[in-house]
Structure 1
Amino acid sequence: MTPQELRAFCLDFNAATEEFPFGPETSVFKVLGKLFALTALDGEPLKVNLKCEPEIAVRLREEHEEIVPGWHMNKRHWNTVTVDGRLPDRVVRELIEDSYDLVVAGLPKAERLRLDRA
């Protein structure tokens, strides 16, 4: 997955936006103001921080050396995923989608309903 593909995939989710609160080098992808992915798209190797269920996060870290506790994030709920081709793109897309879904699930009901209608 290229940086451009990662960016396009993140922005393809309903109500997803890209912001730069930490400077122009760090893309922060949000849904209704809540972070679901954070990356330096020009980073080498490309890495992305993604939210994850704590039990699943631990299992993923044990199974894949490309997945480690979230850098500068709550290590219980966030993973840093190295996107360098060792993990299949399908897996990276699933991890991004899971992160988005977790964030949406934590939104107030009225906001979730707004997303369903959009």
Structure 2
Amino acid sequence: MEIDEILAYCNAKKGVKETFPFDKETLVLKVGGKMFLLIPLEQQPLTISVKTDPEWSADLRAQHPQITGAYHMNKTHWNSVVCEGLKKELILQLIDQSYELIFKSLTKKKQTEVQGS
């Protein structure tokens, strides 16, 4: 997958905002003000960081050498994913789960605001 495909897919979701809170090289996508996807723009091959269920994280890391604990993040919940060599469906599934986990962690008020956007 290419970065343009990932960004188009993410931005089609409700309430997604692109930010650069850390530096000019790390694009952070947020929903309801919380991060669900990070993309280090200068890194090659294309790599993303996503939040996943801890049990699924362990399975993913065992099955795919391209998936490891995310740098500077809680490695129980966050994975660094080198997109090269992974099926598009898996990458989209990882993005979907990350978005959903973050969305579900928002207050009911924030969730309503996001759904209305």
With the shorter chain as reference, the TM-score category is over 0.9
1:67 aligns with 2:36: no
Distance in 1 between the 2:99 and 2:42 partners?
22
C-alpha RMSD of matched pairs (Å)? 1.2
Deviation per CA, 1:14-53, whole angstroms, max 9, x where unpaired? 0000001122211000001100000123420111010011
Please list every run of at least 4 consecutive aligned residues from structure 1 whose deviation after the TM superposition is greater than 6 angstroms: none
**Is contact 1:52–1:98 with CA below 8 Å preserved after alignment?**
yes
Structure 2 counterpart of 1:6, which letter? I
1:36 aligns with 2:71: no
In the TM superposition, residue 57 of structure 1 has moved relative to its aligned partner by: 0.7
Equivalenced residue count is: 117
Structure 2 gap segments, 5+ residues each = none
1:5–1:41 distance in 2 versus 1, CA, 3 Å = farther
Question: Which residue in the other structure is 2:58 paired with?
Answer: 58
Question: Which residue in the other structure is 2:97 paired with?
Answer: 98
In the TM superposition, residue 8 of structure 1 has moved relative to its aligned partner by: 1.6
Structure 1 gap segments, 5+ residues each = none
**Is contact 2:66–2:81 with CA below 8 Å preserved after alignment?**
yes
Distance in 1 between the 2:72 and 2:45 partners?
17
In the TM superposition, residue 98 of structure 1 has moved relative to its aligned partner by: 0.5
Q: What is the aligned-residue identity percentage?
A: 37
Distance in 2 between the 1:22 and 1:115 partners?
23
Paired residue secondary structure (2:14) = coil
**Is contact 2:32–2:111 with CA below 8 Å preserved after alignment?**
no
TM-score normalised by length of structure 1: 0.93
Paired residue secondary structure (1:87) = coil
**Is contact 2:57–2:76 with CA below 8 Å preserved after alignment?**
yes
Distance in 2 between the 1:37 and 1:46 partners?
13
Paired residue secondary structure (2:98) = helix
